[in-house]
Chains A and B, each alone.
Chain A
Amino acid sequence: MSQNRREFLKTFAAIGATAATLTAVTPKVTKGKSTRPLSPNRKGVLVDTTVCIGCGKCEWACKTAHDIEPGSINDYNTKLTDNSQRRPSENALTVVNQIDISNANSGKIKLQCMHCEHPACESACIVGAITKQENGAVTWDTDKCIGCRYCMVACPFQIPAFEYHKALDPKIVKCDFCINRTTEGKLPACVEICPVGTLTYGTRDELVIEAKRRIGKDPDKYFNQVFGEYEVGGTSWLYLADKNLVDGVFPKLGTNPAPGVSESIQHGLFAYFVPPVALYALLGGVMWLSKNKEKNEGGH
């Protein structure tokens, strides 16, 4: 082959540059934000971690409501003291941890799906099995799912779990905001059982106002942030705490919706079929050029 290494790299860089420019220019139209407007009545939950006593009743109620073997309700408050940061899993859609593992008197925090305003999992799902419902819940459709687990990778809070132990028909499992209960007019199971009212269920917009009212009323008690108000474009579950939850409990996340990054690359690459066509055209051109060169060289 007459094309030397230097020339090959040059051509390759040129293709790369073209592709990159195309991705940078075209995606402006798509963005990460869902074009579907969010309902003004969408619900949320305000978690006041300063109130939580860590009894674990919400974990028990959640399992009971989702047909997971719950065990004895009396065993739950001991789970907190095992000094580990547990994660929601296929056997526990929600867990309560100590905010500060080393300090038994620190606040307690309940973790579950945050039900993002612009869910990355919904965006990442290639078959549309995950839906942001009108009431704010992000739900998962078992019939559509193909088990690719892209949603698990996409979730900025690492919430969706997968039933790895099931050889046949494993499912993606995560908190569904008790959609079956809320459509009947009931409260989510965890909200209903909480003995101290850590969890407040209501319209998300009102909850944000209420959260700020509580901070304003007691500025010494609360860290001045409603976690979830703006994080990854906003979440349905909002948190109040006496300290900064970022970098302790939650990862540091921007205020842009999580799908923004992934979608701009994905959608950009395939927008109007321009990048693939351009790529093939380029490749064709390179082939054509090198073919000509070969001919010329052969003519000698």
Chain B
Amino acid sequence: MRKLIYLILFAFLTTTFAQNKLSKLHSKQNLECTTCHECEVPTKTNPCLALCPRDKSKGISNVYKLEKAAKVFEINNIKGEKDIYAPVVFSHKVHAEMSEMNNGCITCHHYNPPGEIVKCTFCHEVDRNKSTINMPDLKSAYHRQCMDCHKTWEEKTKCENCHTLNNNYKPENSESSTVKINLPLKRPITKVYETEKYIKGKLVSFHHNDHVELFGLECTSCHKDESCQSCHNQKLDFKKTIDTTRHSRCESCHSAEIKNQCAKCHSEKETAPFNHFTNTGFDITKYHSKNSCKSCHAKAGNFSGLKAQCQSCHKWNGDNFDHSITGLKLSEDHIDLECSDCHENNNYKKPTCSSCHDEAEGFIVPQKLPGEKVN
């Protein structure tokens, strides 16, 4: 009898404790009631919980770090009678990064109760002949989740895009196999927007390639709330683009131009891509091609005011310059010379030897060098 009383007491305490814990978490969560409760007045006896609450208001990326998750997952928890397909290798990292251009992690991780990230099997049963009819089974859930995006750019449903046939599968290649099914990206080099209202210059040329390759812009700095197929659809024709975003996308960097320098972007014809030599008169292809814009134009947003002389940026003189960074280590005879002894008229491209040596004797660079080559 005493045992029974203890048991009842224990059960009572644990349930009340559990409820208290839940209510605390409730208040912390900052959620809309309707996210989890389907009816207007949920009660304790009838909480009318939504079966599959999808809270789009906040992502899970604030709580969990992508680096902690595995780079690729092998999905092998569904076994059929005859498995013609090998386990699917899912590149989690790639998808997670791409999802930043859309809804974020919540695109797939749609149910996130407090605590650890729940597995799909937490809600979705593996068995098709399942007890509940309210929820898709695991296989359906996977397929729906993946195909929701993947089918938008593929007219036919090709199983082999994700599934490898069982006899072709080698577990050790799982990471490389994701490269094989990686969807080719279609990126425009230049996009020409046609504007209706600004008559003086109807065309705005956007040099996409320059922004990505040259200016080093991250995809996410422009692409937000973007569907996958806006980059992955191979049938896309970037030339036929109607401007819908107006100035909003360019504003974060080009706010000054948008205010009072319309002609910087608006033109009557398509403009040529940015070229540092033709646009500014300073050729960067030889010595500065690997630099990012920032390494010279340190002040954000300000690209003017730099001079073409080396000394305006490089504080070099004959004493502190290490010549070996040019690929040539000077010999001891030459190391104490002044720069201008060889490089006349501030031309650092082509040295002359004639002030000391007789060129007729063969003292010409590159036949004879004032030191040895280094890499």
The reply to whether B143 and A207 form a contact with Cβ atoms under 8 Å apart is no
The reply to whether A195 and B133 form a contact with Cβ atoms under 8 Å apart is no
Q: Is A104's CB within 8 Å of the partner chain B? A: yes
Binding site for B on A (CB under 8 A): 46, 51, 53-55, 77-78, 81, 104, 185-187, 191-192, 194-197, 200-202, 206-207, 210, 213, 217
Residues of chain A lying within 8 A (CB to CB) of residue B129 = 185-187, 192, 201
Residues of chain A lying within 8 A (CB to CB) of residue B134 = 210, 213
In the assembly, what is the distance between CA of A194 and CA of B144, in Å? Answer: 11
In the assembly, what is the distance between CA of A31 and CA of B183, in Å? Answer: 62
Q: Which B residue's beta carbon lies closest to that of A55? A: B157
In the assembly, what is the distance between CA of A202 and CA of B139, in Å? Answer: 18
Specify which of A54, A104, A206 is in contact with B157 (CB 8 Å cutoff): A54
Closest-CB distance, B135 to chain A (whole angstroms) = 9
Residues of chain A lying within 8 A (CB to CB) of residue B151 = 53
Known: A53-B151, A187-B128, A206-B133. A196 touches B144 (CB 8 A): yes
Of residues 142 through 185 on chain B, the ones whose CB sits less than 8 Å from some CB of chain A are 143-144, 147, 151, 155-157
Q: Which B residue's beta carbon lies closest to that of A206? A: B133
Residues of chain B lying within 8 A (CB to CB) of residue A78 = 156
Name 5 A/B residue pairs within 8 A (Cβ), A-sorted. Answer: A54-B157, A77-B157, A187-B128, A197-B141, A206-B133
The reply to whether B140 and A195 form a contact with Cβ atoms under 8 Å apart is yes
Closest-CB distance, A114 to chain B (whole angstroms) = 19
Q: Is B136's CB within 8 Å of the partner chain A? A: yes
In the assembly, what is the distance between CA of A192 and CA of B144, in Å? Answer: 16
The reply to whether B155 and A195 form a contact with Cβ atoms under 8 Å apart is no
Q: Which A residue's beta carbon lies closest to that of B156? A: A77
Q: Which A residue's beta carbon lies closest to that of B138? A: A197
The reply to whether A197 and B147 form a contact with Cβ atoms under 8 Å apart is no
Known: A53-B147, A77-B157. A195 touches B139 (CB 8 A): yes
- A192-B129, A201-B129 are known; give 15 further A-B pairs, CB within 8 A: A54-B157, A104-B155, A191-B128, A192-B128, A194-B140, A195-B140, A195-B143, A196-B140, A196-B143, A196-B144, A197-B143, A202-B133, A207-B133, A213-B134, A217-B38
In the assembly, what is the distance between CA of A207 and CA of B151, in Å? Answer: 28
Residues of chain B lying within 8 A (CB to CB) of residue A194 = 140
Residues of chain B lying within 8 A (CB to CB) of residue A210 = 133-134
